[in-house]
Structure 1
Amino acid sequence: MEANVRFTHQALVEQSREGNRNAQYQLYGLYVDAMFNVAMRLLTIREDAEDIIQESFVEAFRKLDSFRFESTFGAWLKRIVINKSINHLKARRLLLSSMENEEEILDDEQEAEPDQFEIDKIKMGLAQLPEGYRQIITLYLIEGYNHVEIGEIMGITTSTSKSQYHRAKKKLIQIVNEL
């Protein structure tokens, strides 16, 4: 049955490439809920996630010619959603940062807000992790990949991904606590 599902999805992708709106609508229906969940995990704001999903599907359908079936359509689309979500978060952070800078200039004696302080400590901790640990943490926590996907990306087993993630998390906590 899995081969039939894959064939059906492949046929829908091919038809969508040709501009078949019905096929595009069917692909949208198959993937919208899963992609919404991915965006919500990253963005946490429903309206932002809905916007990102719409933008992601528009981009996916516009760029279907670049899809080469090297992965599943769902994995390809998920990368688009994750990248758009991360870019949205970066843009929002920049906007919030510039708004805070305009509102008031902090005196040297004032402390940074605890949340920003913790985020900065985590960023410094991430930078101190060995590259393999940093990659696992980034793929799992920031980009939202699961351990099976991380294993495929990095050419390791799922169990290795899980154990490396737990070691990386433990090491990150140790580093952050020492900062």
Structure 2
Amino acid sequence: MSNEREQQGRSIVESFQALYSRYSIPVYYSAFSVIKDRELAQDAVQETFLRAYRHFDSLKQHDRKEAWLKAISRNVAIDMYRKRCREMRGYRELQEAYRGETNVERTIVDQDFLRDLLSSLEPVYRQALLLVYEYGLTYEQLAECQKTSISAVKSRIHRAKQKLRGVARIAKANL
């Protein structure tokens, strides 16, 4: 009896592994088309296959497995996208509340000054600063995005900060 269960368990695992190897890439692209983020799309694939595994018995009867998995993937990706939007909205509201405590005119002038400073940087430095400090990417994520090493990312961030300090000193001296 236990030998039968083991064989049945092995056959389920083998069937599921075959399903994963066959459909993981289309499911990934389905999730990525919604989220537009590699890591979140990979998380969506994991969640999709977890849900598929939980309902594996009903999946065996499906003749359109790929469509079923893509539908799950799309729904998971939409949920993740909405969650990320809610988190970003909360972050923006917190920023607005903080800004509300300061002088509005000073905030506008500071934002214009910062925008001018950033625009004076070379695009690769500006991109590095914005992706790390505005969008919250880690150095590892930025290195992957820019297809470079982590040490190169650290150097770019350091150089960008140095250039900003120099430009800011010159601009304040002219005021």
| TM-score, length-scaled by structure 1 | 0.46
Q: Which structure has the highest helix share of the two?
A: 2
Using structure 2 for the length normalisation, give the TM-score: 0.47
